[in-house]
Chain A
Amino acid sequence: MNTCGEIRESIGAWLDGELSGAGADAVRLHLETCLVCGEERRQLENLNRAMKDVFESEDFRLDAEPFWHGLRQRIAAKRPWHADLAEWAGPFIRAPSFAWAVPAVIVLLIGALYFGSILPGWGVLAPRNNFATVESIDAYGRNVALLREHESKTTVIWLYQNPDNENEGAGETSDKGPAF
């Protein structure tokens, strides 16, 4: 520890009595001979003195009494009912983390499907219309019409009579069909 730079870094610790033995002696001997480092020592001593004066002055003393008084009042005060309610309901209304939101959505979807399967038409995923799907149809040579009536959302299968009318219905006659 011989250079001025190393000595200056240690002056603060030496002034605070944190150095001992050879370290303290090296700083003290250097400061006795080095004017520049001696000046650094004086500045540090002045700074320490000034700070000590400030901390010891009457103006600087913190008045903590109003803070503690207010705190005691808040602890002793009766909490309003809505504060209790908010505290109780907090965990329920606080936004859940994304990790829990995903399975929650899955559960809701499964619940909706389950509910819809035991109560027809009540599931949120239940189809909103009454349309039926005709997967196959055979009218045995007759004309047949498939209609999706959108106003009532109904599927209509209309069987037209064969023009040759092979004596079906034993004399029953009808018009040609509905006027959809």
Chain B
Amino acid sequence: MKPAIKVLLFNFFLWSAALSLDAADKSFQSVQITIKTVAAGKQDREFDARLAPLEKQLKALNYRSYRLLKEETQTARWQGNANFEIPGGRVLTVRPQEVTNNQLSLRVQLKQGDKPQLETTVRMNNGGNFILGGPPHEGGVLVLSISATAR
């Protein structure tokens, strides 16, 4: 095979790879969002075994007890809202905005009744999570693990 033809074939292959890479970002149809609601307190020492995957993250908060109150998963389309009921009359709304370079951008809003408490935009690894904590709950606090995976 002549060198010129080899180079042409190679260029074709490179373009194909680049186009398929570009298509990969665009091919994510929806985002699976999981919220784990944890009650953290400073009274008894207790760690809910169901929270084992989050143990390292939660124990950095230095509470004594961690109990999983609720785990909910929803699938949201891009620019669509996923609403999660959080104990204490709160609602957490998560809206996936975009994915670039395998990083998801999420708009997150926490409301209590009609009152917004927090609104933030977070960019995170696809399949990763972050922690939102602080709302009071039964003498302790609520800790929310918010994870999202584009599919």
Contact = CB atoms under 8 A, between A and B. Distances in A.
B136 A157 contact: no
B contact face: mostly helix, strand, loop, or mixed? strand
B19 to A, nearest CB: 10
Interface of B: 10, 13-14, 17-18, 20-21, 24-25, 40, 42, 56-57, 60-63, 88-89, 102-103, 105, 110, 112, 115-141, 149-150
Given A152-B56, A157-B134, A180-B61, 19 more contacts: A103-B14, A110-B21, A114-B20, A123-B102, A132-B125, A132-B129, A134-B121, A137-B118, A149-B60, A152-B60, A159-B118, A159-B133, A159-B134, A168-B117, A168-B136, A173-B139, A175-B42, A178-B61, A180-B62
Nearest to A175: B42
Interface in A131-175: 132-140, 142, 144, 149, 151-152, 154-161, 168-170, 172-175
Contact of A126 (B17, B102, B135, B138): B102
Contacts of A159: 110, 117-118, 132-135
5 contacts: A103-B10, A121-B126, A130-B125, A134-B122, A172-B88
Q: What range describes how many residues of A lie at the interface?
A: 35 or more
Nearest to B6: A100
Interface string A90-127: 00000000000001001100110110111011010011
B63 A178 contact: yes
Contacts of A111: 17
Contact of B60 (A118, A123, A151, A172): A151
Contact of B122 (A118, A133, A169, A180): A133
A121 B17 contact: no
A177 interface: yes
A149 B57 contact: yes
Interface of A: 103, 106-107, 110-111, 113-114, 116-118, 120-121, 123, 126-127, 130, 132-140, 142, 144, 149, 151-152, 154-161, 168-170, 172-175, 177-180
A143 to B, nearest CB: 9
10 tightest CB-CB pairs across the interface, nearest first? Answer: A174-B136, A159-B134, A120-B127, A132-B124, A120-B126, A132-B130, A172-B136, A117-B24, A152-B56, A137-B120
Contacts of A107: 13-14, 17
Nearest to B55: A152
Given A126-B102, A157-B132, A138 B120 contact: yes
